[in-house]
């Protein structure tokens, strides 16, 4: 019998998926015309791709544990897995917050930026929910 993912795990996986998907959409657009750049284009790479990679790692670890039944150790070095998810979420949040308050040189923020920002927020919220689960993340037996 498979255990269903917790709400916190669903939030982290969804946030990671949203962040990765929106990283391929327009991060910045020109005010005139239809030109745009995504997080993977030169000029934004690699800094703007770090939130997408953090979401991929965080959501991927949970998906592998829950659906592929991959057995990870209880700790990643000296950190617990919920702590790793919190660190990845905060890391992604700091980068996206930096892009939010930075001068964008007359470029408009595109749907990719806003989607990545929302996905990053979901990563942080889901990671906080993971740390507050009464028994921690459920283990597969």
pLDDT tens, position by position, 6-37? 999 999 999 999 999 999 999 999 888 778 99
pLDDT tens, position by position, 74-123? 899 999 999 999 999 999 999 999 999 999 988 999 999 999 999 999 99
* Full-model pTM: 0.90
pLDDT tens, position by position, 34-73? 789 999 999 999 999 999 999 999 999 999 999 998 988 9
Measured CA to CA, the distance from residue 102 to residue 62 in angstroms comes to 32
Write the CB contacts of 38 (distance below 8 Å, at least 6 apart in sequence).
23, 24, 25, 26, 27, 44, 112
């Amino acid at each position: 019998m498979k255990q269903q993912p917790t709400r916190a795990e669903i939030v982290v996986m969804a946030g990671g998926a949203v962040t990765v998907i929106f990283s391929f959409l327009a991060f910045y657009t020109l005010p005139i015309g239809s030109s745009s750049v995504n997080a993977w284009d030169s000029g934004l790479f690699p800094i703007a791709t770090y939130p997408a990679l953090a979401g991929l790692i965080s959501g991927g670890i949970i998906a592998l544990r829950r659906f592929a039944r991959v057995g990870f150790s209880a700790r990643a070095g000296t950190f617990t897995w919920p702590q790793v998810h919190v660190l990845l979420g905060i890391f992604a949040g700091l980068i996206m917050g930096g892009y939010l308050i930075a001068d964008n040189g007359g470029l408009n923020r595109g749907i990719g930026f806003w989607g990545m920002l929302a996905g990053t927020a979901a990563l942080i919220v889901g990671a906080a929910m993971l740390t507050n689960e009464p028994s921690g993340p459920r283990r597969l037996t």
